[in-house]
Structure 1
Amino acid sequence: MSRRLVLATRNPGKVTELRDLLTGYEVVGLAEFPDAPEVPETELTFVGNALLKARAIAAHTGLAAVSDDSGLCVDALNGMPGVLSARWSGRFGAEHPGGRDRANLELVLDQLADVAEPERGAHFVCAAAIAHPDGREHVVEGRMDGRIITAPRGTGGFGYDPVFEVAGSGRTTAELTPREKSEISHRGRAFRALAAYLTTLTDP
């Protein structure tokens, strides 16, 4: 019976986060599989992208694979950037080191410049998927509601965190501690739901 899971990322922080939630499993990342394929996020939904990556890594490693896709959905932008959140500004890759997050954030603020405060609602979504080598699959989703403020606040987090004020908190996600953010974030909620699903299994 295998208790080993591979998380489809080369980000050690994400591996640590999932490892902390799944204490009964050995969680490894793609650093353990340097020849693992890069899987483009070509689907039109968070669920589709999460499954796409999980399936590819499960097939490559022969292990149960976990993947996630997440993004910001702004009401006044008809749910965009959505699955395009990481590349909303068109700046990505080595061409713009360190500048992509800022460019994405500034573009959203520009697009909402004439939108009144009551209409600046938004939410983050995360879909987390597990694909098993035998073909079984399971997907869960997490959501965090809030609004887009007019200017960045806070120094923590990344991406759109400095302009996303969590509903009912009065603080942006960039003003929360990592632990506070994990407790209420879309990713934290999705991965806790995935952990709950895994407790129902006898073999991942």
Structure 2
Amino acid sequence: MKTAYFYTANPNKAVEARHVFEPAGRVEVLKVRTGITEILEVDLDRVIRAKAAAAYAAARYPVVVEHGAFCIDFLQGLPGALIRPFWDGLGAAGLCGLIPPGQPRVVRASSAVCYCDGKRRHVVTREVKGELALSERGTGGYHWDPVFIPESDKAGRTFAELPLDEKLRLSPAGLAYADMRDWMERHLGGP
């Protein structure tokens, strides 16, 4: 039994969500062609709650949405949830070049996933600490995956260098999707 639609205009997010949610039978993953307006805000919780409400208003069916944040310590936590305009404007080389040589390259990548059924919004947020690579590496993933090295990967690979299963076990989005899937199982009943 379907309990929610995964609402996204990003085909890469759809692949990852499908990988986590569909085997459990909890969420039908759709790539929505007409996007929703996202608020411009550094705070990830505000962004995900507004995004979920807008997605529910558009779909009029329970939805699950995701939004990420990329918090660079050297930039006092920026760009945060504004990573997409940063990435679109600067690209990998520009983002990597924001930290001068010799400075710490610490980054906290976060992902918030929100379930919204029109009456409630349940948010799961997960964070992974890592570092900003000196340059883009790997061919997998999307957005900042080629420049983020998770602290938990002892080989020092970027998310773009990891196979999908391994990336989803380490990434904030994969961890948040799994937590949301488990919450849905507990609170929305079995498939």
2:149–2:158 CA contact under 8 A, matched in 1: yes
> Structure 1, residues 2-28: CA drift from partner, whole Å, max 9, x if none?
733122213344334333333223514
**Do the aligned partners of 1:72 and 1:125 also contact (CA within 8 Å) in 2?**
yes
| Alpha-carbon distance between aligned partners in 2 of 1:37 and 1:86, rounded to the nearest angstrom | 14
C-alpha displacement of 1:30: 5.2
Other-structure match for 2:110: 125
Contact 1:6 1:30 in 2 (8 A): no
Q: Deviations over 1:72-104 (max 9, x none)?
A: 11111111111111111663xxxxxxxxxxx33
Q: Based on CA coordinates, which of the two structures has the bigger radius of gyration?
A: 1
Give 1:38 deviation, angstroms.
Answer: 2.1
2:59 aligns with 61
Q: Normalising by structure 2, what TM-score?
A: 0.84
Could you say which residue in structure 2 is the equivalent of 1:113?
A: 100
Identity of aligned residues (%): 26
Which residue pairs with 1:150 in the alignment? Answer: 134
- Does the 8 Å contact 1:87/1:104 carry over to 2? no
CA contact (8 A) 2:115 2:123 kept: yes
Q: Distance in 1 between matches of 2:58 and 2:5?
A: 11
- Does 1:29 pair with 2:27? no
Say if 1:125 and 1:141, in contact at 8 Å, map to a contact too.
yes
Structure 1 residues without counterparts, runs of 5 or longer: 92-102
Distance 2:7 2:40 in 1: 16
Q: State the one-letter code of the partner of 1:109.
A: C
What do you get for the CA RMSD once the two structures are aligned? Answer: 2.3
TM-score by length of 1: 0.79
Instruction: Give the 3 Å change call, closer, same or farther, for CA 89–114 of structure 1 in structure 2.
Output: same
User: 1:32-181 counterparts in 2 under 5 A?
Assistant: 38-88=36-86, 91=89, 103-116=90-103, 119-133=104-118, 135-167=119-151, 168-181=154-167
Letter in 2 for 1:56: A
Task: Give the gaps of 5 or more residues in structure 2.
Answer: none
Partner Cα separation in structure 1 for residue 15 and residue 149 of structure 2? 26
Aligned residues: 186
Q: Structure 1's 155 and 12: CA in aligned 2 closer, same or farther, altered over 3 A?
A: closer
Residue matched to 1:11? 10
- Using a 3 Å threshold, how does the CA distance of structure 1 residues 89 and 143 change in structure 2: closer, same or farther? closer
State the match for 1:186 in structure 2.
172
How far apart are the structure 1 equivalents of 2:177 and 2:163?
18
SS in 1 for 2:66: strand
1-structure distance, mates of 2:123, 2:148 = 25
